[in-house]
Structure 1
Amino acid sequence: MGDVYMENLLKNMTWEEYRTKVDKSFLILPVGSTEQHGPHMPLGVDAIIAEKFSLAIAKKLDAVVAPTLSYGYKSLPASGGGPMFPGTIDLKGSTLTSLVYDLLEEFIADGWKKILVFSAHYENEAFLAEACDLLLRNQKEEYPKVLLCNWWDNLSEQTIPRIFDEVNFPGWALEHAAITETSLMMHFEPELVKGELIIDDGFTSPPTYQSFPPSKSLIPSSGCLHTARSSSAEKGKIIAEDATCNIVSILKKEFSSNLILNP
Structure 2
Amino acid sequence: MSQLFAKNMTWQEYQSKVEDYILILPVGSTEQHGPHLPLGVDCIISEKYSESIAEKVKAVIAPTITYGYKSQPASGGGPLFPGTVDLNGSTLTSLLYDVLKEFIADGWKKILIMSGHYENDAFLAEACDLLLRNQKEDFPKILLSNWWDNISPELMPTIFDEVEFKGWGMEHAAITETSMMMYFTPDLVHEDLITDDGIDSPPTYQRFPASKDLIPASGSLYTGKSSTAEKGRFIVEDVTTNIISFLRKEFAVDLSENYITNASAKN
Shorter chain as normaliser: what TM range? Answer: over 0.9
Are the aligned partners of 1:8 and 1:62 in contact in 2 as well (CA < 8 Å)? no
Q: TM-score, normalised by structure 1?
A: 0.97
| Letter of the structure 2 residue corresponding to residue 194 of structure 1 | H
Q: TM-score, normalised by structure 2?
A: 0.95
Q: What is the 5 A alignment of 1:87-106?
A: 87-106=83-102
Q: What is the 5 A alignment of 1:8-27?
A: 8-27=4-23
Q: What is the 5 A alignment of 1:105-254?
A: 105-254=101-250
The offset of 1:257, in angstroms, is 4.4
Between stretches 249-258 and 27-36, larger displacement belongs to 249-258
Q: Percent identity?
A: 68
Q: What is the 5 A alignment of 1:24-39?
A: 24-39=20-35
Please, which runs of 5 or more residues in structure 1 have no aligned partner? Answer: none
Distance 1:229 1:142 in 2: 45
Q: Which residue, out of 22, 44, 47, partners 2:43?
A: 47
The verdict on how the C-alpha distance between 1:243 and 1:53 changes in structure 2, with shifts beyond 3 A counting, is: same
The offset of 1:260, in angstroms, is 4.0
Distance 2:255 2:195 in 1: 44
| Letter of the structure 2 residue corresponding to residue 89 of structure 1 | V
| Letter of the structure 2 residue corresponding to residue 236 of structure 1 | G
Corresponding residue pairs, total: 259
The offset of 1:62, in angstroms, is 2.1
Distance 1:110 1:43 in 2: 32
Cα RMSD of the aligned pairs, angstroms, is 0.9
Q: Which residue, out of 67, 71, 74, partners 1:71?
A: 67
Please, which runs of 5 or more residues in structure 2 have no aligned partner? Answer: 261-267
Deviation >6 Å, runs of 4+:
none
Partner of 1:6: 2
Are the aligned partners of 1:75 and 1:88 in contact in 2 as well (CA < 8 Å)? no
